[in-house]
Amino acid sequence: MNSQLIKLYFVTFNVATKYPEQDPAQMLGIYHNKSDPLPDFYVVGLQEVKSQPQNMLLDMFFEDPWTKSFKDILKEYDYVKVRTQRLQGLVLNIFCLRKHLTHLRLVESRYTKTGFGGMWGNKGAVSVRLNVYGVNICVVNTHMTPHDHLLADRIADYNTILREHAFDVPETRHILFHDYVFWIGDLNFRLHGEDLSASTIDSLVKNDEIDILLARDQLKMVMDNGDAFAELIESTITFPPTYKFEFSSQDYDLKRRPSWTDRILYKVNIDVYEDVKLAATQSSYKSHPGYTVSDHKPVTGEFEIVVRPNFQDNGVEFQSLTQWFIDEENSVSYTLLGDFKPTSGDWIGLFHQGFSSLDDYIVYEYVTRGRASSSSEPCAINDRIFFSDSALRMPGMYCLVYVAQRGDIVSILGISPAFPGHRRPGSTQNSI
């Protein structure tokens, strides 16, 4: 049986509290003359996003500028932001191609604080886990304890995150219980040994002798001896250390010893299902030195992962709509397929056609307001939901999205065909 593959593209970038001043397209591998298909998912992990109290208050109501910059370019290629999870300066964003939205199940996010003994979120982890095409994926974005001599604290950070980071989805409560785990971020591991001065490291990098430095990498050391990250693997590093650079420059700031702080690791639980053997193939792992806004360089990784072949999702089918009318009550019929059972938390949102984030609903109605109608089909339940006369206020093209919600956990079960909204011909408002 042929395996089905999906592509994931990961970005990790410590933005050093700066604002986005450079086009992120090159970082995202987006080239207008590139013929290769774009990834199915983009995962963007950021650290040190500006998070003073006034910024955090704004971010409760508006996206941070970095998230917006990524969303603005990705929406041009039909990506939709699925989830943002934030903990102070830590931000994790998941984007997927629109065609995959209705295959997303059990999307859940979490965070763990590790700063000041777990009391402060200046360091820690944010994560998103989800199911797609029958497999589950967990992405963890971390910012760990800095400084060369605090290796033990970084090891403690890792073990604290593993111990305290718990999900509500059954069977995947633990990070490492997922089929696929991707651990990204500013892990802050440095180079072992005081005999390596900053200038010596800089010279070795300029002479393309990074293998000498990689042999001193703290992260490789703790993975090998089992102290931290031993459960994960990392592809071979072929790029120079990503920290610490002078701002607006490609030269190292030699007040600190350069090191590979910014990393992408992963884990695959191979033999989980009888119908497929899971696998992840990494096709690229690189830094992007042209970005000079921060004292870090962004790091990206591209993967292809195996998902389950011919996996069928139970979902929702919407009746085709010819039109809705502005300032009138409107309704839609839909069919629940398979054994899916709605609950009081489920809702249907009204969106503009081509929406770029699941947060961009105009209004929503809980499905408990729907008026049930009988069905002669044993494997389907038909229902209807009504939206008030204040829901649709402007002419345009719209769609409806069915979201099954259980607390923080959401599944996207169906999207209606696009339909026009306009004023009824001859209405008094239309003639004013």
Quote the pLDDT of residue 62.
65
| Dihedral Cα 54, 56, 60, 63, nearest 10 deg | 100
Residue 159 DSSP SS3: helix
- Neighbour order of strands in the sheet with 330-337: 316-318, 330-337, 380-387
For residue 57, count other CB atoms closer than 10 A to its CB: 10
Angle at 256 between CA 253 and CA 259, to 5 degrees: 95
pTM for the predicted model, two decimal places:
0.93
Give the separation between CA 301 and CA 242, rounded to whole angstroms.
14
H helices, E strands: number in the chain:
7, 20
Asked if 325 contacts 422 with a C-beta cutoff of 8 angstroms, the reply is yes
Task: State residue 348 phi and psi, 5-degree precision.
Answer: -120, 125
In this model, does residue 51 exceed pLDDT 80? Answer: no
In this model, does residue 430 exceed pLDDT 90? Answer: no
Please, which residues bridge with residue 14 across strands? 47
In this model, does residue 392 exceed pLDDT 70? Answer: yes
Spacing of C-alpha 418 from chain mean position: 26
Kindly state the average pLDDT of the residues 378-400. 87
Quote the pLDDT of residue 122.
75
35-39, 188-192, 291-295, 319-323: which has the minimum mean pLDDT? Answer: 35-39
**What are the pLDDT digits (tens) for 115-141?**
656 445 578 999 999 999 999 999 999
In this model, does residue 61 exceed pLDDT 70? Answer: no
Kindly state the average pLDDT of the residues 148-164. 96
For residue 250, count other CB atoms closer than 10 A to its CB: 12
Give the separation between CA 152 and CA 219, rounded to whole angstroms.
12
**β strands within 17-117, DSSP E:** 41-47, 79-87, 90-97, 104-115
- 173-177's contacts with Cβ under 8 Å and 24+ in sequence apart are 175/127, 175/138, 175/140, 176/231, 176/267, 177/269
Give the separation between CA 98 and CA 30, rounded to whole angstroms.
17
Quote the pLDDT of residue 310.
86
In this model, does residue 193 exceed pLDDT 90? Answer: no
Spacing of C-alpha 258 from chain mean position: 28
Give the separation between CA 114 and CA 142, rounded to whole angstroms.
10
In this model, does residue 3 exceed pLDDT 90? Answer: no
Distances in whole angstroms, Cα of residue 379 to Cα of each of 42, 288, 382, 405 = 35, 51, 10, 22
432: pLDDT confidence band, cut at 50, 70 and 90? very low
**What are the pLDDT digits (tens) for 233-261?**
999 999 999 999 999 999 999 999 999 99
Quote the pLDDT of residue 155.
97
90-97 vs 120-132, strand pairing mode: unpaired
Task: State residue 158 phi and psi, 5-degree precision.
Answer: -60, -50
In this model, does residue 377 exceed pLDDT 60? Answer: no
338: pLDDT confidence band, cut at 50, 70 and 90? confident
Quote the pLDDT of residue 340.
79
Give the largest CA-CA distance in the chain: 84
Asked if 397 contacts 416 with a C-beta cutoff of 8 angstroms, the reply is no
Residues recorded for the chain: 432
Give the separation between CA 21 and CA 292, rounded to whole angstroms.
9
Kindly state the average pLDDT of the residues 82-111. 97
Kindly state the average pLDDT of the residues 334-349. 89
158: pLDDT confidence band, cut at 50, 70 and 90? very high
Q: Which amino acid is at 239?
A: F
Asked if 288 contacts 27 with a C-beta cutoff of 8 angstroms, the reply is yes
